[in-house]
Structure formats: C-alpha cells, structure tokens
Structure 1
Amino acid sequence: MLNPLLLEKSILLRLLISSRPEAHIQRFFDMDPIKASCISIHLDTSLQLSDDIRSFLENGFADMLQDSDFSYALSTVPRPWPSASCMDKLVQKSFGQFLYASTVLKYVGDPDCHPVDQLTNIMEANT
C-alpha cells in the first residue's frame, strides 16, 4: 500500500513510521527507488541502554513477586523469576526501547491473567 504513495512525486506526503528493526520491514525500505525517498533513524541500542532496560525489567518483576495480588500465582514459581536467560531474551527483544519493556511488564502484570502464562506467551511469540 505504501509503495505507490512513496513513488508518486506529485503527492506531498510525509509519513513517520516507527518500528523495531524487523528484517522484512527493513528490506522494504531498502528497495530502490523507495530508499531514495526515505530517511532512516536508528535509535540508540548501546550496552548502557540495555543495562538500563534490564534493571527496569528486573525491578518490575521483583515488584510483581512482592505484590500480594500475585503471591498465590507465583508461590510455586522457581526463583529467580524470570530466569537469567529469559531476561536476556527480553532485553534483546526490546532493541533498546523502554516502550517494549514497559509493555511486557503491563502484559505480564495483568491482574486478570496468570503472570507465568503471560510471560510464556511473550517468550513464545515470533518477534
């Protein structure tokens, strides 16, 4: 749908598209002649930012473990929860974006759902 709009020079159109660096999206915007009409800005994904996101996630999950609303649901979950490998994956999936990490915590912390099941859904999602 975007392809004809981006190629039509008589239409004055500016779009802001925000996305994680998904391969199929990147390939689309790397195609000639679309590439010539687009500007790509890569956001910071430095190690410092990854450390900050890890800390944010760790604190959020620690709050859930302390929350009396989740005490029964999380009482049999092995500690640490989530595991170190799970945390590594979540940090990697965030691509340096706090929005992703915040959304994960809100989704997992949904009071109407089981937090372990919610986290499993995220970890099994194809992202």
Structure 2
Amino acid sequence: AEGALYDSADRNFAPKCLENTRVSVLERVTKWIADPTAPHLFWLNGMAGTGKSTVAQTITGFCSERKWLAATFFFSRDRVVQHSAELFFPTLAHQLALFEPRLIPFLEASMKTNSALPRATFVVQFNKLIVEPFAEFVKTEPAGLDAPILVVIDALDECKYEESTRELVHLLLNGGLHQFPTLKVLVTSRPETYICSVFKRPMDVPIPYRSLALHEEDPETARQDITAYLEQGLGRIRKDRWECFSGLRAEESWPTERMINDLVDRSAGLFIYASTILKYLQD
C-alpha cells in the first residue's frame, strides 16, 4: 500500500506543525519514543480538526531524520488500499525489513513455512510477519534493538470496517509488542466508541499504554498555537502574494492584530478552521 508510506508521493504536501506550535504535544511524544522504559504504544486521539495527522506527520519527519522511523501506515477513507486493513501487516513488515535488513532471514523463513500469509487472518499475519521475526532477531542479535524503532499508524478511524479496526487495536496493544522495549507504536484516531472500547476493555493482565486527547488540551495553549499558526501562515501569504498588497501604505499592516484575534476566536480551538481560512486566502 504505497500511499500509506511516509515518503509516498501522495504525501508531498501533507502539513507539518509550524515552528513554535504544538510544542508540548511534540515534546511528550518524542520523550516517550526515546524512553525504553515507557509503554510501547501511544494513542493520540482527538475530535475532527484538532490536528492529529499534522502532529503524526511532524513526528515522522523528526524521527526519519534520526533514523528512528521504521514503518508507517496512513489510513485514508478516500483511497481503496488505504481504507482497508488487508495490506496493513504486509505493508508494515515490508518497511521493517527495509529499516532493519537483519530481519529479512526471519521474515523469509516465516513466509516459506506459511505460503498463505497474504490471505491469512490478521492475528496470523501479525504473529508471523511482526512478532515472531522480531523475537527470533532479538535471540540472535541481543543488542540489535538499542535505538528507538518507531511505527506510526495515522487516522485509524478511517479504516473501512469497525471490526477490523477493533482487531488491529487489540493486536497492537495486547499482541506481544511490549516485549520489545525500543519498539514504539504511535496510533492516531478520533475517539470513536468502538476504538475507545478496546483501549478501555478490562484485561486479566492489562498492558499499559500512553494516551493524549488533543480536544482536551488546555484552551489557552490551543489558542496560542492557533495564533502562531495564523501569524506565520498569513505572513507567508503576504510574502508569496506581495503584488496583492502593493497598494498598502508603509504604515499599514496586514494582517492586523484584531484580524488575527477574530480568526482565533472563530477557530474555537480547531486547527482545521484556521487551515481552511489560510487555504482559501492562498487560492
């Protein structure tokens, strides 16, 4: 599923957090990634328009530069191969093999003894393509997993079938990945009931995880972030569309402080509102 990859051409214009925005959120996530004692899974959730995918894209860029990014899957309800979970584990396994070539012999061995893997159940694919190859690799290369290994799964709520989504969450959380301390899984989604139910389901041996709800973020912090986002975005529009502002007198400013404050008020904590305004003005 090529479009699900971080470096896919489909993601050329995927937005990232602007400078000095989402600072506290990005710090929390990056500290979790670098901490081998932290839980293996971080669930970043939020209502529509709160900036989950933008944070995910920023984190993938940050970790790619540091050689920490192992695999991604960006779900999208608008693309056939990206709204189905059928290629989810094969896509992750392919990327993990490219990231850590020493996994390849163990993946090949698993595939030779399981020729029906592409059509197997999710639990079989998960175990044979992810968990077991990692476990065998660790046995032979005890020091092979010293640095962070990040897997990013964005917009999980855009997976087409709720039952598939529930099973993916269950496997990622409770399927055994916690035994690899440096392997981290960042999941973003809306807090849909069927997803929340898996995270909150009572377990005989509960597996810890981190979570952060962007829609519950401190309103003042969200306001400051959106203000910075609009200031930078509007400033860039003025620079790129300079001919539209050639009639302004030297003492006239655009945007005005009042204009920015009004747009921030209208955004009501939703980055998608501010983003839509900037796209409209840019066009």
Which structure shows the bigger proportion of residues in strand conformation? 2
Considering only CA atoms, is the larger Rg found in Structure 1 or Structure 2?
2
**Higher RCO (CA-CA < 8 Å; seq separation 6+):** 2
